[in-house]
Chain A
Amino acid sequence: MTEITCKLLVIGAGPGGYVCAIRAGQLGLDTVIVEAGKLGGTCLNVGCIPSKAMIHVAEEYEKAAHAAAGKTPFGLTAGAPALDFAKAVAWKDGIVGRLNNGVGGLLRKAKVKIVQGRARFRDGKTVVVDTETGPKVIRAERIVIATGSGPVELPFLPFGGPVISSTEALSLAEVPQRLAVVGGGYIGLELGIAFAKLGSRVTIVEAQGRILPLYDAELTAPVAKRLTALGVEVLLGAKARGVALSGDALLVETADGQERRIAADKILVTVGRAPVTSGIGLEELVLDMDGRFIRINDRCETSMRGIFAIGDVTGEPMLAHRAMAQGEMVAEIAAGLPRAWDKRAIPAVCFTDPEIVSVGLSPDEAARAGHEVRVGQFPFAANGRAMTRDGEQGFVRIVAQAQNGLVLGIHAVGCGVSELSTAFGLAIEMGATLEDVAGTIHAHPTLGEGFQEAALKALGHAIHI
């Protein structure tokens, strides 16, 4: 059995883990990272990146099909498009592969030692990794748990056969003719919309009364409208019951208590993600938990000295960029720098059609937090760039404190608004007021003008509405 000793050991090379390891390496810490799968974790291999690739393919295909049907308002027509799906998947895999290599290269450049295999805690300072060449013992002064999360499995819809998780959905051999999606959260909707555009007949089954229940209804309404236009059937207040015996249909109890059979070649279950806390010997440490998650403080320290946890394993929101920021902070703490979590906002984006961006508090959340608020909302229907992109649905909404105009939250829904998350996040993190946003020149013609106009509206003097 070989032994390694290091300053910092990172378990899991997802976006949290690898960023932590790279930053630690930059700071001169002797760092080891352990990964059982591929570098980049869920995000890079079976999450954010591949799904965005497939969403892009679907968008392009749908545009071509739209033109082929002669439905563009600007007179473009084209022949019926054909998609070599295997080639599309290969293109996506190519991107993932390049990024895998990129992460590996960055880790090596930062002089981080990469150990492939599954790690298990032996105690608070020691981890055993089962590698191809046998067990390896790693002793570390500090250990970072960055094991991430995995798709939640429903007991009555176990993965296997026609029942798939998002991971399998991103590497299907062909576009399923009929796709049932259980769970109308952002993952189910992103993939459901993509497959609908690729030609699948998609049915979304959501137990709650509306899609994307974590966002406010105003924000999700344009997405609901688009689902209808795409021919996606949405069953709200409906409960999935299981797979039909024949294996080609999903059984659903609808809102009015009726039993319904939804014919489906594939049943995609996207009902949430659970932290990976088993199989890594956590029971040897007996860390304080916060429900299913590992409890951390504002320095990502767990209840055991020298053990940190970052990313999805520490709770909501389970987002790659939160994990990355935590990873960077922990590396700096490990290097002896004074750091603590002081972020004002963690942006969230839904790559649905149209896209949704959410940064900070919604009007309701702000009111519940005791703020007296001022809200400004500007529709893209009054934005030149949105018109010229043939994407006028949606709006930008800004929520600010009534007494001093401090921006508390910024939300948008519309085509291509995901890139606005940058401006929104910066505004909130910098402590911008409505006057700051309104007083910044926003380039014309861009969707971003909607942001400025929303601030002007909240101040009571929007120009273009």
Chain B
Amino acid sequence: MAERIIKLPDVGEGIAEAELVEWHVKVGDIIREDDLLAAVMTDKATVEIPAPVDGKVTWIGAEIGDTVAIGSALVKLKVAGEAGAEDAPAEDAAPADAEASEHAPASAPVPVVPPAKPPTADEPPRAMTVPRPTKTLSGASAPAPALPRRAPGERPLASPAVRLKAREAGLDLRQLAGTGPAGRILHEDLDAFLLRGPEAERKPGLAEKTGISEIKVVGLRRKIAEKMALSKARIPHITIVEEVDVSALEDLRAVLNKKPTPERPKLTLLPFLMRAMAKALAEQPNLNALYDDEAGIVRQHAGIHLGIATQTPGGLMVPVVKHAEARDIFGCALELNRIAERARQGTATRDELTGSTITITSLGAMGGIATTPVINHPEVAIVGVNKMMVRPVWDGTTFVPRKMMNLSSSFDHRVVDGWDAAVFVQRLKELLENPATLFIDG
């Protein structure tokens, strides 16, 4: 029997450390070559670490959320060697230290696996180790007051006498949970409900909840947290909100969207904004820049690489449309759709997730009236799109309904003056309100 130490391999990208985001194994697991051991996260990509040999896990070197240096020990395996003795059965294994606790029950009793019980198909050896309960503070496991659990429209189950008593008491039985068989509401349930007093009657179905769930901030969520904190701590934001009349733009968009083809997909508002930014940034290259505040250098980029803030199942990600200045409107739309989809599916590469020089953030119909976008550090500007709605606008003689949309844009006030910021926002407004100008070169 020999011991083999698996070290965190160099996952590329020239990094020195990576964050452990997922364990696929725990102490006691028997693994085969190429089984996945763990996942680590570098700047933005997640890398899976496979097992190089067969063996049994005897030690794991980090907890989820820990930062592990490249080359440090990650897992110790017992592998078949000269000693030759067979491993102890899996069910004798001690509780794993770093097991993910998603599947653990909320209550704490530790089930003792009867040793005589043979493993069945339903219970692979891995499932027979004792699961670690979710960490909860005291009070969390106290029985919460029962709330009615019925399908919508389902009538509460109660005997005629209980129904009558409730009606006489002016009580709607739908507010009550039944403790009887099949959820039947008993006289006792009714009495208990009535005893809770007039306040409980006024606020039926409301109950105090104790209990606190601890959720570890790891992986992508931690990256987001760090980036946001960095940006807000370092960058004095200045935010300008300007309204844009997009009626003409919407008319144009409707015409363009009449006959979509795979090469000319339906356009949302974003490709127009991308084109408008490409044009405006050509005139104000100081906004298409990265500010290295430690070195004291602003690097203006000739290429316009638009970060697109995208909500994914894992959290906020910023895939990048590279060289927006070299793409026409359909080119912008196609690339935008492609990278956003890859980000949502978790298949975006590191390259597709880095290199932006300015960012767009849009929540579509959820976009609110105004927002205060947080700059994607070390960029110096971000453009936020708010929701479009029809608003009455005074045209000099009367109110007319116009499709209005606000842009909320933030700038790094250290390197961008308010005047420059205002000029940029006004230029975007001008371009978007006169969409023909978007398509005039030069």
- Which residues of A pack against B, CB within 8 Å? 337-340, 342, 344, 401, 404-406, 429-431, 433, 435-436
Q: Is the CB of A433 within 8 A of B168?
A: no
The 8 Å CB contact of B181, one of A337, A429, A433, is: A433
Q: Is the CB of A431 within 8 A of B182?
A: yes
Residue of B with least CB distance to A407? B182
Residue of B with least CB distance to A435? B181
- Nearest Cβ in chain A — how far from B255, in angstroms? 47
Q: Is the CB of B182 within 8 A of A429?
A: no
Q: Is the CB of A429 within 8 A of B167?
A: no
Q: Is the CB of A405 within 8 A of B160?
A: no
Q: Which residues of B contact A406 (CB under 8 A)?
A: 157, 181-182
Q: Is the CB of A404 within 8 A of B181?
A: yes
Q: Which residues of B contact A338 (CB under 8 A)?
A: 167-168, 170
Q: Is the CB of B180 within 8 A of A431?
A: yes
Any A CB within 8 A of the CB of B205: no
Residue of B with least CB distance to A342? B163
- Nearest Cβ in chain A — how far from B312, in angstroms? 35
**Mask of B355-396 contacts with A, CB within 8 angstroms, 1/0:** 000000000000000000000000000000000000000000
Any A CB within 8 A of the CB of B402: no
Question: How far is B170's CA from A339's CA once the two chains are assembled, in angstroms?
Answer: 10
Known: A338-B167, A436-B181. 5 other contacts (CB 8 A): A342-B155, A401-B182, A429-B159, A431-B159, A431-B180
- Nearest Cβ in chain A — how far from B83, in angstroms? 53
Q: Is the CB of B163 within 8 A of A431?
A: no
- Nearest Cβ in chain A — how far from B185, in angstroms? 8
Any A CB within 8 A of the CB of B184: yes
Which positions 47-67 of chain B face chain A at CB distance < 8 Å?
Answer: none
- Nearest Cβ in chain B — how far from A278, in angstroms? 35
Question: How far is B173's CA from A342's CA once the two chains are assembled, in angstroms?
Answer: 11
**Mask of B30-59 contacts with A, CB within 8 angstroms, 1/0:** 000000000000000000000000000000
The 8 Å CB contact of A404, one of B158, B163, B183, is: B183
Question: How far is B181's CA from A404's CA once the two chains are assembled, in angstroms?
Answer: 8
- Nearest Cβ in chain A — how far from B280, in angstroms? 57
For this complex, 23 residue pairs linking A to B, each with C-beta atoms less than 8 Å apart, are: A337-B168, A338-B168, A338-B170, A342-B155, A342-B160, A344-B155, A404-B181, A404-B182, A404-B183, A406-B157, A406-B181, A406-B182, A429-B159, A430-B159, A430-B160, A431-B157, A431-B158, A431-B180, A431-B182, A431-B184, A433-B181, A435-B181, A436-B181
**Mask of B139-175 contacts with A, CB within 8 angstroms, 1/0:** 0000000000000000101111001000110100000
Q: Is the CB of A405 within 8 A of B167?
A: no
Q: Which residues of A contact B180 (CB under 8 A)?
A: 431
Question: How far is B164's CA from A339's CA once the two chains are assembled, in angstroms?
Answer: 8
**With contacts A406-B157, A431-B157 known, is A339 near B167, CB below 8 A?**
yes
Q: Which residues of A contact B168 (CB under 8 A)?
A: 337-338
Q: Counting chain A CB atoms within 10 Å of each CB, which of B157, B158, B182 scores highest? A: B182
Q: Which residues of B contact A405 (CB under 8 A)?
A: 181-182
Question: How far is B430's CA from A457's CA once the two chains are assembled, in angstroms?
Answer: 79
Q: Which residues of A contact B158 (CB under 8 A)?
A: 431
Question: How far is B155's CA from A431's CA once the two chains are assembled, in angstroms?
Answer: 11
Question: How far is B168's CA from A436's CA once the two chains are assembled, in angstroms?
Answer: 27
Q: Which residues of A contact B167 (CB under 8 A)?
A: 338-340
- Nearest Cβ in chain B — how far from A335, in angstroms? 13
Q: Counting chain A CB atoms within 10 Å of each CB, which of B168, B170, B181, B183 scores highest? A: B181
- Nearest Cβ in chain A — how far from B257, in angstroms? 41
Question: How far is B320's CA from A165's CA once the two chains are assembled, in angstroms?
Answer: 84
Q: Which residues of B contact A337 (CB under 8 A)?
A: 168
Q: Which residues of B contact A342 (CB under 8 A)?
A: 155, 160, 163
Q: Which residues of A contact B184 (CB under 8 A)?
A: 431
- Nearest Cβ in chain A — how far from B201, in angstroms? 15
